[in-house]
Each structure stands twice: as C-alpha cells, then as structure tokens.
Amino acid sequence: MEAESNTEKSVLSRINLFNQHVEEHKKWQRINPFSHYNVRDMPKQRIHKDQYGTAPAGSLSEKRAIQAQILSLQEILQLCGLINENGERQSADETAEVILRFGELFEMYNHISDKLLGTLLCARKHKFIDFEGETLFQGRDDKQSIRLLHPFEELKESILSKIESLRCILAEPVKQP
C-alpha cells in the first residue's frame, strides 16, 4: 500500500510540474507579439521613464549595448589621439589647446574608419572636442577647426576610466530574479 501511495505522489508531482510549465508557456505566448494570439489581448507593458529605450537588465541586448559603448569610446580615444598628434598647438605649452582642420582630419581618418562624422558628434556630446555648426561636410567645411577641449592626457585618462568601468559592468555575473 505504501509503495502505491509513493508512486501516486511521484506521478502527481510530475503532472503538477508539467501543468506549471504549460501555464508559464501560455503566459509567455500571451505577451509574445509574434505568437498566434491576438495583439489586443496582450497586456499593456508598464515602462517607467528611466527604463524607456534601454535594454532589460542582464539581457543579451544590454551586454551588446555596453560592448558598443566600449567600442565607441575606443574610437573617440583614437580620434582625439589623431587630433593631438597632427593638430597645431596654440602655444608651446603641452596643455595648450590643439586645433586641426576638418579637411586634414578627414584625409587622415578616412584610412582608419568611415565613421568620422559619427565619432566627431559623439566626442562633442561627451565634451571632448568642439567645432562650430551642427555637422560637418567634406568639401564645404574643410577649413572648419576642430579643437580638443582638454589636454590629451586628461582626455585619455577620462576615456580609459569610462571604458574600464563599462568592462567591470560587463564582467559582473548576471543576477537571476
């Protein structure tokens, strides 16, 4: 008799586990926009303002976004280094402002990458460089000055610390809810 009740419990627990998986799958299919369920039956997602436009924490999308930020910062560092090496200093002082014309920079950077304008705009957003106007065009703005806003060593230290902090975030183990 006792063996029969143990097998009944075992079978019941497996049935309950299976039913639980079925319910979880049904819930997932209801919120999955690519399933066969009607979209109007889907529950409306509640997204807070600070979470809007960002990947869910711990997701593969978040990991890719951090990797993209690291790559972008590395390109900005390379760009600032190129401006520092080839630009004109306003005085003999090492901390003096460095300026390089867009046309010269375009010719040099074109051999490195085809993303000069995007990198320039991103570097200006982070307040590493500055130039007049909203955007620059080859030919039209060749004489436009691009200047480093801080000494290169200071910029390099700032960018490398940002990259290191992003790599630390990337290396953290994913926390399961």
Where are the domains positioned within the chain?
Answer: 2-45, 60-171
**Residues 50-71, mean pLDDT to the nearest whole number:** 87
Which residues 6+ apart lie within 8 Å of 69 measured at CB? 166
User: Which comes out higher in pLDDT, residue 58 or 122?
Assistant: 122
Kindly report the average pLDDT of the chain as a whole number. 85
Span of 1-5, 9-13, 58-62, 171-175 with lowest mean pLDDT: 1-5
**Residues 117-132, mean pLDDT to the nearest whole number:** 94
**Residues 63-88, mean pLDDT to the nearest whole number:** 94
CB of 124 closer than 8 Å to CB of 134? no
H-helix segments, 41-174: 60-86, 102-109, 116-125, 152-171
pLDDT of residue 68: 94
Please give the class, per CATH, of domain 60-171.
mainly alpha
Bridge partners, 145 (sequence order): 101
**Residues 132-158, mean pLDDT to the nearest whole number:** 91
* Full-model pTM: 0.70
**Residues 110-131, mean pLDDT to the nearest whole number:** 90
pLDDT of residue 16: 93
Q: Is the pLDDT of residue 39 over 80?
A: no
